[in-house]
Structure 1
Amino acid sequence: MAIWDFVKDAGKSVFGKAEAATPAKPAPEKPDAAAEDSRRKVAALKAELRALNLDADDVHLTLKGDLVKIESRGADRETMEKLILAVGNIDGIAKVEADLPEEPAAAARPPVFHTVQKGDTLSAIAKKYLGSANRYPAVFEANRPMLSDPDKIYPGQVLRIPDQT
């Protein structure tokens, strides 16, 4: 399994601000409080995946602190990359662990992700990775449904870069 790093304090808030920043600590009188909090956070992650139409019956998430492990037997490589980004771009998540399925055309190429910096635009990112600023729609489409508008990216967000073909 590979692990991808994300900016823990950037992204969509689905847990609530105070909870995203710190791992849950069990109350002394309730030893299962941490497990219940983890189940609640996984449910919030699954709800976010459902809202993005990325949730399938075979997608399994495991949360350990700020690391999420994603397992799926039926997802193709593109879908797995989108799952990694959808979960990793959530406030409070610092790492995502997952296996990417091998595909003949993509077997030699590891996934290319870009962490948005202040001042970045999809055009500048397309020029850097795809050779032409006019290819920004390809970057936008590669990150749908996480992106709803090509002008709404933010520093710390991680984007998927499509193949140059």
Structure 2
Amino acid sequence: MGLFSFIKNAGAKVFGIGKTTAEEAADKAVAAAAEAKFKASKLTNAVETLGFEVLDLNIEVTGDNATVWGQAASQATREKVVLVIGNTEGIATVDDRMTVEVEEPAAQFHTVVSGDYLSKIAKKYYGDAMKYPIIFEANKPMLSDPDKIYPGQVLRIPALD
């Protein structure tokens, strides 16, 4: 064998060099669809790993938007699923299209700002800083410690019984 010479700019466009605008757009669309499918599977896995009861869970991602379908066992589960998805880096909005088996009052949501801590949030919503465990429990298993909240995180604030 030996060294063979070829015309550099002729032949199959295997490396994407010399593709038309339409071919490049098609490749980008395929890559974006694959990335969206990957993100959706990661989000689905995150929800399932936390053990939330949602029948026929389906998540789709388009850019920084996620849409979720399924039947949640409770309103609390529904809200927690939305929080798991929405508190994920790269997700800006969640379109909640889930249904619930048992209707309950919806919780409020609070976006954590710098300087927030659970007792301060409890004081704001319940008038009693010592009710922070209610907020902590309402956000389990996403929260593992009452002191581990961060700015930008969204928390469930359930109604008091």
TM-score bucket of the superposed structures, by smaller chain: 0.7 to 0.9
* 2-structure distance, mates of 1:65, 1:124: 35
Distance 1:140 1:93 in 2: 23
Q: Tell whether the 8 Å contact from 1:27 to 1:33 is kept in structure 2 after alignment.
A: no
| 2:53 corresponds to 1:51 | no
Q: 48-57 or 135-144, which moves further after superposition?
A: 48-57
Q: CA separation in 2, counterparts of 1:130 and 1:111?
A: 13
- Contact 1:125/1:136 (CA < 8 Å) preserved in 2? yes
Higher CA-based Rg: 2
Select the structure with the greater relative contact order (CA < 8 A; seq sep ≥ 6). 1
Instruction: Please say if 1:118 is aligned against 2:100.
Output: no
Match in the other structure for 2:159 = 163
Deviations 1:64-103 (Å, cap 9, x if unpaired)?
A: 1111111112432110000010100001110011146485
Assess, with a 3 A threshold, how the Cα gap between structure 1 residues 37 and 126 changes in structure 2: closer, same or farther.
same
Aligned alpha-carbon RMSD (Å) = 2.1
Whether the 8 Å CA contact 1:46–1:55 is kept in 2: the answer is: no
Aligned match of 1:72: 70
Normalising by structure 2, we get a TM-score of 0.76
User: In structure 2, what is the Cα distance between the partners aligned to 1:48 and 1:118?
Assistant: 26
1:90 corresponds to which residue? Answer: 88
Contact 1:114 1:159 in 2 (8 A): yes
**For 1:131 and 1:164, how far apart are their aligned partners in 2?**
11
Are the counterparts in 2 of residues 126 and 132 from structure 1 also a CA contact under 8 Å?
A: yes
TM-score, normalised to structure 1, is 0.75
Question: Deviation digits for residues 106-152 of structure 1, max 9, x if unmatched?
Answer: 2xxx4300000100000000111112111110000000010000000
Match in the other structure for 1:154: 150
Number of aligned positions between the proteins: 137
Structure 2 unmatched ranges of 5 or more: 1-22
Residue segments in structure 1 that go unaligned for 5+ positions in a row: 1-25
Q: Equivalent residues in 2 for 1:30-49 (5 A)?
A: 30=27, 31-49=29-47
Question: In 2, Cα distance between the equivalents of 1:118 and 1:128?
Answer: 15
